[in-house]
Structure 1
Amino acid sequence: MMLLLETIEKAIAAFSSRIDWVTLILLIGGGLFFLIHSRFTPFLYFRHAIRILSGTYDKDKVPGQLSHFQALSSAIAATVGMGNISGVAIALVVGGPGAIFWMWISALIGMATKFYTCSLAVMYRSQSEKGTVQSGPMYTITNGLGKKWKPLAIFFALAGLIGTLPAFTANQLTQTLVDVMHFKDSDKMYIGIVLAIITSFVILGGIKRIGLVASKLVPFMVVLYFIIVLTILVLQIDKVPAIFMMIFSDAFSGDAAAGGALGYLIKTGVKRAAFSNEAGIGTAPMMHGTAKTNEPIREGLVAMLGPAIDTLLVCTLTALAILSTGVVQNSDKTGISLTLEAFNSVLPYGIGDVVVVIMVLIFAFSTLFSYSYYGVICLGFLTKPAYGKYYNYFYIGSIIVAAMVKIEFVLNLIDSAFALMAIPTMLSGVLLSGKVHSSAKTYFEQYHKNKMS
């Protein structure tokens, strides 16, 4: 059995190393296409996007299950998680400070990508027999490109069954509890069982319960994390200017990256940004497509805020906090263990442990609660929407397994699935970009007319 597991781990690692360049080309190349195609127009309506979130445009008697705010909160709950606390630490260890710059670039490009892909998710969504909205890249492909493209939609849904597993979150949450609470490695299975039980109470309640919980958790966790990290940065304020200089200088040298290659550095930043905000991967369109609206562009603008909050704000705060302590250069740890060491090196004795555990619990559970919905939609597409709910049981069981495996295996597995999911998501987005451009032109013209009247 051990030999079989080792063989599987090596095979997935080899596959991940070969396909990750596909992720780089698709996400950066496709995102640049969306930026140029849109002429940066969506960025001019940032304030309008925030007004949409306030509920000004909410309507009850329109298709959908979630309000604009709940849809964004649920999407962010799925992305603002362990990737922001642990994933950033991994990026710094593997790629050095310069990887953060490429995470920023990827996030800015990702904002344009989310505008297009999430607008399309509303534009081409379907309804189940019970009248609930079904959306995502697979529905965009079949309804937008036609039934002859269905194999591509099936390809996305199959990859999505793996990519939407809670492997990274469950793994790193378990590791946090082991590090802080001094559990043994042999206790990881029991920790996984407890996490699975807690998660089941929320996800078995369906999308509306997920949206309700996420809308309460997300604003609280982002504000709390901002306060905590800001405290660390104030204590280390003299080092912050030098950190920014180091990020920019290392971004183009590649000296700090493993192997010293600039291409490797860029790839590391893009992969970790994709893990963080998932722009172009195809998960967020499944959530944003459930918004109560008849205006696809309106939800596209809301979705655009995701990478800004997730990567430009939360990931940057984590990176600055870790780099200001200097633990990256003096530790052999990675992931959540490195973040924990960084917080403990600045905050008074014991407070770092408490702070990280609280934040990890909030971030991790928000992801665990929200992420299952994506797998439900994927399975529902492959079978029938009514059968999608059975994915939840597979999802709950995978939490226990993920708690016990190595972090390297988890990263390679999810990175590989994300790369495969990006292929149909970005391809359909580019092919249907003209539809979004046309709809956006009409929407913005009408917006200005209403504003002037």
Structure 2
Amino acid sequence: MWGLPLIVLLVGGGLFLLVYSRALPYRHFAHGFAILTGRYDNHSDQGTLSHFQALTTALSGTLGLGNIAGVALAITAGGPGAVFWMWLTAIVGIATKFFTATAAVMYRGYDSQGTLQGGPMYVIREGLGKHWLPLALFFAFAGLCGTQPVFQINQLVAMLRGSVAYPLELATEQSHFGFDLTVGIISALLVLSVISGSLSRVGKVTARLVPAMVVGYMLMTLGILATHLSEIPAAFGLIFHDAFTGQAVAGGALGTVIQVGVSRGAFSNEAGIGTESMAHGAAKTNEPVREGLVAMTGPVIDTLIVCTCTALVILITGVWQSTEADGVALTANAFSTTYGNWGPLLLTVMVIFLSLSTILTFWYYGSKCLGFLIGAQHQHHYVWVYCLLIVAGSVGSISVIFNFLIGMYAAMAIPTMLSALILAPRIMRAARVYFSAFDSQR
């Protein structure tokens, strides 16, 4: 799925949008952050979430284990150079997010129950016309499969197993099924208690959890980086060198580095994938461009800042070469080199909240995709299926789970990027009108 055609569509498409817009969104970051303060909120506008809640809901789907375990998996599979290609997806992803989120509000549509919804499937139906409906259905199906909670709960269980169960002798490496299953059931009940309150409750929870967890995680990583300041330049040098040589990958395959970096970057920031557009499409605003400006801050926060810190911690501590661990366990080993036994415990707290917030957001994405496929009047049944998936993911295989989800992310990118590229002229016309009015008011 992540072959050259898709990489060209995702990265090349984002680069085209950057050039086509003449970097217009890149010049208005200050305005984007000003919108997040609530200065431009209008409670009479259509939508469900405030601009800030829409961003935190979208970020809760990206600032989870994709930034902790996903980076570790990228370095394990593609070497340090994969981080460079993750950065590239974020840089062009700023333009992609601006266009896809603007379209998500501009082309909102009504579901079968008459509720206003956003997301690539509605963008395609409302913006491109009903003859494009098969492409919308394709996205909804891939979105339903790709937003399962199995990866997040699997890595949460792995983290709890290593930092809590083994030290307290609640499980062993040979016998941990009972512990894993118990954690899965408890997590499912916690998630059920939140998602029973629909999107508005999810938005309120993520608006509190995400900022606190990001600050806490950044403080932990900065603590490690502060003790290894002299090694940071060498880590950056390794990333840039390996990005174009692939020497850290078996066989020196440069194509593998690019493929892994782009796919993990997309898993991290979701730019061009389309899932985050469902959250931004629920923003309470009648100005589509305004939500596009909010959305484009996402890749900066989750990939250029948080993922970079995770990658540097893994590289400067050397755990990527000294251990066979992968995923969240590799990141935990990196933290333990500086914080000792407290490292994995502190990271466990972060993982609990970040993974649960992601699981909450993925429920919303999946239910909306299912509602588009079979009718919104039936999507409430997904709650019970979703909780069962949480339990199943707690005892599943990480390699099978992660490869399946990455494949579905690739599938989602096809309709999302195609619709964004086709609708780009209309979005740019709306952007010019908006910025012309904004500049005249200053």
1:377 aligns with 2:360: no
CA shift for structure 1 position 131? 5.6
Q: SS state of the match for residue 285, structure 2?
A: coil
- Aligned residue number for residue 418 of structure 1: 409
Aligned residue for 1:36? 19
How do 1:209-248 residues align onto structure 2 when only pairs under 5 Å count? Answer: 209-248=201-240
Q: 1:302: Cα distance to partner?
A: 0.3
Q: Which whole-Å deviations, capped at 9, do the CAs of 1:338-395 have from their partners, x for residues lacking one?
A: 1111111111x32112111111111111111111100111011112223222222211
Structure 1: distance between partners of 2:6 and 2:321? 29
Say whether the 8 Å CA contact 1:46–1:301 is kept in structure 2.
Answer: yes
Inter-partner Cα distance in structure 2 for 1:77 and 1:189: 24
Q: What displacement does 1:205 show?
A: 1.1
Q: 1:259 aligns with which of 244, 248, 251?
A: 251
Q: Does 1:56 align with 2:34?
A: no
SS at match of 2:296: helix
Equivalences for residues 336-355 of structure 1 within 5 A: 336-347=328-339, 349-355=340-346
Q: Give the SS at the match of 1:345.
A: helix
- Whether the 8 Å contact between 1:64 and 1:132 is mirrored in structure 2 is no
Indicate the residue corresponding to 2:148 in structure 1: 165
Choose from 287, 291, 303 the match for 2:279: 287
Change in Cα spacing, 1:51 to 1:131, as seen in structure 2 (3 Å) is: farther
- The superposition leaves residues 93-150 of structure 1 with CA deviations (integer Å, 9 ceiling, x where unpaired) of 1111111111111101111111001100000102347664211101000100001110
Tell me how far apart the structure 1 counterparts of residues 382 and 131 of structure 2 sit (CA, whole Å): 27
Residues in 2 aligned to 1:227 and 1:366: alpha-carbon distance in whole angstroms? 20
Partner of 1:93: 76
* 1:122 alignment partner in structure 2: 105
Matched residue type, 2:62: T
Gaps of 5+ in 2: none
Q: Say yes or no: does 1:153 pair with 2:139.
A: no
> What is the alpha-carbon distance in structure 2 between the residues aligned to residue 258 and residue 26 of structure 1?
27
Deviations 1:6-65 (A, max 9, x none): xxxxxxxxxxxx554443222112111111111111000000000000001000101000
Q: Would the aligned equivalents of 2:81 and 2:238 in 1 still touch at CA under 8 Å?
A: yes
Q: Distance in 1 between matches of 2:324 and 2:337?
A: 15
State whether residues 112 and 375 of structure 2, in contact with CA within 8 Å, keep that contact through their aligned partners in structure 1.
Answer: no
Is the partner of 2:273 in helix, strand or coil?
coil
What are the within-5 Å matches in structure 2 for residues 12-31 of structure 1?
A: 18-31=1-14
The Cα offsets for residues 180-214 of structure 1, whole Å up to 9 and x where unpaired, read as 12134312222211111111111121000000000
Give the counterpart letter for 2:344 in structure 1. Answer: D
How far apart are 1:322 and its partner, in Å? 1.1
Match of 2:190 in 1: 198
Match of 2:120 among 137, 141, 144: 137
Q: Are 2:392 and 1:409 equivalent residues in the alignment?
A: no
In structure 1, how many angstroms separate the alpha carbons of the residues matched to 2:116 and 2:50?
13
Distance 1:351 1:271, change over 3 A: same
TM-score by length of 1: 0.93
Shift of 1:427: 0.7
After superposing the two structures, state which structure 1 stretch, 251-260 or 161-170, moved more.
Answer: 251-260
SS at match of 1:254: coil
Code of the residue aligned with 1:411 in structure 2: it is F
> Percent same amino acid at aligned positions?
48
Question: Paired residue for 2:269?
Answer: 277
User: Partner residue of 1:427?
Assistant: 418
Q: Secondary structure at the match of 1:259?
A: coil
Q: CA RMSD, aligned part only?
A: 1.2
| Structure 1 residue 264: Cα displacement | 1.1
Q: For residues 57 and 259 of structure 1, what CA distance do their matches in structure 2 show? A: 53
Aligned equivalents of 1:132, 1:209: Cα separation in 2: 17
- The equivalent of 1:390 in structure 2 is 381
Size of the alignment, in residue pairs? 433
Q: Which runs of 5+ in 1 are unaligned?
A: 1-17
What is the aligned partner in structure 2 of residue 109 from structure 1? 92
Q: Is the CA contact 2:74–2:82 (under 8 Å) kept in the aligned structure 1?
A: yes
Contact 2:2 2:263 survives alignment (8 Å)? no
Do 2:2 and 2:259's aligned partners in 1 also have CA atoms closer than 8 Å? no
**Deviation of 1:258 (Å):** 3.5
Give, in whole Å, the separation in 1 of the partners of 2:282 and 2:162.
Answer: 39
Distance 2:250 2:202 in 1: 39
The whole-number CA distance in structure 2 between the counterparts of 1:45 and 1:297 is 11
- 1:71 alignment counterpart: 54
TM-score by length of 2: 0.96
In the aligned structure 2, how far is the partner of 1:136 from the partner of 1:143? 11
